[in-house]
Structure 1
Amino acid sequence: MTHPPTTAIRHSPDLEGELRAASKVTLIGMVLDAVLGIIKVIGGVFFHSQALLVDGIHSFSDVASDLVVLGVMRVSRQKPDQNHPYGHQRIETIGTMVLGSILIAVGAALAWDNILRLIQGGADQVPGWPVLVAAAASVIGKEWIYRYTRRVGQAIRSDLIIANAWHSRTDAFSSVIVLVSTLGAMGGFIWIDTLAAVVIAGIIIHIGWKFTWDAVKELVDTGLSPEDTEMLKAIARDTEGVRNVHELRSRRMGHDILLDIHLVVRPEISVSEGHQIGMQVVSGMRDALDNIRDINFHIDAENDEEHPPTSEQLPSREGIRNLLDEHLGGLPSHTRIRLHYLRNKIHVELFFESPDDAPGLDAEQITRHLQGYPWFGSLRLWFGAR
């Protein structure tokens, strides 16, 4: 039996192209956040809207988060190097966790502030109509940048960019709160905007928690869902030449999936056939999930989970040949030996060009010489085989 080593199959994304797309959309969003922030702060001060003023401060916090995204994306989209052979996507995961934490903090602050307003009463001045214009412009602008950013994030497989898109949408939610609160104040129902603010703040907290928790699960190497894991195992089992799959491990790095799988095949096949079977499994898995980046497959001759793994202390090829030479008085130099290491036994096959190369030797005779060794399993002789 020949035993191929573990083989790694990698799919390399266009890191430079992804960085350019991420930088472009983030810079556009940052400029929009800065412009809207200035408009809302000025409008809040001059037209008596505390809500618009706070919303403007929220927009400036988006500018700060955009700067964080730009820095994190530049580092996380670097090519793999000697110290980081799998790449730097985990830095993006940390950035996603930080951004989610910011969303939680912003949502909690908005919720607390508006709960206090709900308890203590509303503002004592009615905002002017320009507040509605500024808030409406903010809703339109932030909803547009949310959709644009989310589309880019999905295209380049970046959870951080998608999280930043949702951060932009929270600013749109805040502007909706301003619209509702202003209309409520103008109509004499100031409490409506405060109640809506608490609800929207809860949504912001929920979004932030989702991104933070997903990032934490990735950092502790949480695997794929049981459904996806079983689907990949089924694909491997259904591949011609695969007898069983006794181990499949998975983890995520950014949006990418990394897999390790052990494939049980017939013990007598060649190294090249075992490798080809593994490549067929890889192809089937990639057809099912296109974000699989690395697949390490190991070709096994037996199921290590059902039987104790073959001991590393068994004799090597050179040791076996020396024993055969010692007991049989030497083998022809062109004799080929094939060894099968199965269940802590060695099964030996000897290949001779013709019976004349092994006069007086037969399987029973050689077996008598070897059966005293605890590692010996069986012996087969082949004549006329090359």
Structure 2
Amino acid sequence: MAVQTRGHAGHGHGHHHHHHDNVYLTSSNKKDAGVRITRIGLFVNLAMAIGKFVGGYIFHSQALIADAYHALTDLVSDFMTLGTVAWSLKPPSERFPNGYGKVESLGALGVSSLLLFGGVFMGLDATQTLLSQFAPEAFEALEHAGLLFHGHSHSHDHGAEVLGPNINAIWLAAGSIVAKEWLYRATMKIAQERKSSVLASNAVHHRIDSLTSLVALATIGGAHIFTNAAWLDPVGGLIISLMVINAGWTNTKTALLELADTTVDEEIKDSVRKAATKTLSKSTTTQDIQIRDIQGLKSGQNYLVDIEVGVTGSMTVQQSREIEEILRTGVGAKVRGVRRVKVRFVPSEVEGVDFAEEFIPGDVSPRISPEPEEHEHEHEHEHEHQHSGEVHKRR
């Protein structure tokens, strides 16, 4: 534990405030919990992917095979999650001055993209099977044109699907529902506590897998109960693929927005504001200071926060340094996930000041502000003119 706690010393707080250490210990524990639940998910997904592929092949169930493909994409996502969660909590370095949080955002993008593309391919496969059953002429025309996704259909032996031991495939699907729903709840609980997009993304994978197994169970059951219901199986595969595409797109959008540096949500801003105000009110040296504005970026599970404070003009650099330390420690101890706090001081009496003024205005550019070389050339030309004028007068 000591090793993980030490990582926080680099953030300028926590290393000499022993009464706050429990906060960092819980965040380290949460990290371990996140890694642990992901490892459990990894083993469950591995077992399920193998079980469903074998079961789907033996029982000729396309819904089960679609489900197995999905369990396989979940397996890849577990490996990516494990890697990115561990990386994102590393302290900042010279090369990564804002920390490694965006590595997790990239991981979330990778995981959700896998889900999105996996859903599209599963949908194409199921659509082909339906085409081969209900529009064989169109299916054959597409096959001759070479436009089919796999170039094969699962409709090869649906007699076995109606008559065969499909009830065994149902047990596989039912077991999957129970295991995946438990994994979803356990992973989402940790993801919400730590506001981790990659863990939330992984949790949604588990929930989708639970729902897809439910669809597989219904379609396998339907094909087993009704006569001539072979079409139910690819319809189940198609429904599963649409659910997977929807989840994949939602998570992809979230990860892209995080990578594009959209601001933190209002809930976090409010938490930071409350923590900062409370911290200042406790200190005797900070009575005349007001919190003016809060801004921040989400970088994986890490929040990089900027606080603007209004102060009197007579404040010394030493006093401002103390206030900065007080705020950093207070906010870092109370708001989970805050990894960096920057404080910006503005005069209390000046109104309408905000973070936008930190940006260089568009009308200030190197072309408008003259370069020193141009000045020197102008002076040289003036000097030459004066010199030639003096020579002319002498003549």
Alignment-derived partner of residue 119 in structure 2: 107
CA drift of 1:269 comes to 4.1
Match of 1:219 in 2: 259
Whether contact under 8 Å (1:104, 1:204) holds in the other structure is: yes
Provide the alpha-carbon RMSD of the alignment. 3.5
Q: Which residue of 2 aligns with 1:334?
A: none
Any conservation in 2 of the 1:177–1:193 contact (CA below 8 Å)?
A: no
Aligned length: 300
In the TM superposition, what are the counterparts of 1:192-341 in structure 2 within 5 Å? 192-225=232-265, 229=269, 240-242=287-289, 245=292, 248-271=294-317, 274=320, 289-301=335-347, 303=350
Q: Look up the match of 2:192.
A: 154
Identity %: 25
- Greater mean deviation of Cα atoms: 132-141 or 204-213: 204-213
1:54/1:272 CA distance change after superposition, 3 Å:
same
TM-score, length of structure 1 as denominator length: 0.65
- CA distance, structure 1, for counterparts of residue 125 and residue 13 of structure 2: 50
- Number of the residue aligned with 2:375: none
Alpha-carbon displacement from aligned partner over 1:123-158 (angstroms, at most 9, x marks no partner) = 433252111111111111222222222233334443
Q: Give a deviation string over 1:95-136, Cα, whole Å, max 9, x none.
A: 001001011112222233333344443843325211111111
Q: Which letter does structure 1 place at the counterpart of 2:250?
A: K
Do the aligned partners of 1:41 and 1:52 also contact (CA within 8 Å) in 2? yes
Contact 1:242 1:277 in 2 (8 A): no
Change (3 A) 1:223 1:9: farther
Which letter maps to 2:312? Answer: R
Give 1:46 deviation, angstroms. Answer: 2.0
Alignment correspondent of 2:99: 87
Task: Give the whole-Å Cα distance in 2 for the aligned partners of 1:181 and 1:235.
Answer: 53
Please give the TM-score of this superposition, normalised by the length of structure 2: 0.64
Aligned to 2:49: 37
CA contact under 8 A between 1:18 and 1:77: conserved in structure 2?
A: no
Alpha carbons of structure 1 residues 227 and 178: separation in structure 2 relative to 1, 3 Å: closer
> Structure 1's 154 and 243: CA in aligned 2 closer, same or farther, altered over 3 A?
closer
By percentage of residues, which structure has more strand?
A: 1
Aligned partners of 2:194 and 2:336 also within 8 Å: no
Residue 216 (structure 2) pairs with residue 183 (structure 1): no
Aligned to 2:108: 96
Structure possessing the higher radius of gyration over alpha carbons: 1
Counterpart Cα distance in 1 of 2:186 and 2:110: 22
> Mind listing any 5+ residue stretches in structure 1 that lack a counterpart?
1-7, 310-386
User: Contact 1:180/1:193 (CA < 8 Å) preserved in 2?
Assistant: no
2:169 paired residue among 128, 131, 138: 131
Q: Alpha carbons of 1:221 and 1:176: their partners in 2 closer, same or farther (altered >3 Å)? A: same
AA of the residue aligned to 2:88: S
Partner-residue secondary structure (3-state), 2:296: strand
Shift of 1:18: 4.6
CA pair 46-192 structure 1, distance change in 2 beyond 3 A: closer
Q: Aligned equivalents of 2:66 and 2:336: distance in 1?
A: 43
Give the equivalent residue in structure 2 for 1:24: 36
Structure 2 SS opposite 1:87: coil
For residues 302-353 of structure 1, the C-alpha deviation after alignment (integer angstroms, 9 at most, x for no partner) is 648669x9xxxxxxxxxxxxxxxxxxxxxxxxxxxxxxxxxxxxxxxxxxxx
Paired residue secondary structure (2:192): helix
CA deviations 1:165-219 (Å, max 9, x no partner) are 2222222232222211112212244545544543443332222222222222222
Deviations 1:38-85 (A, max 9, x none): 222222222222322332233233223222222333333333333334
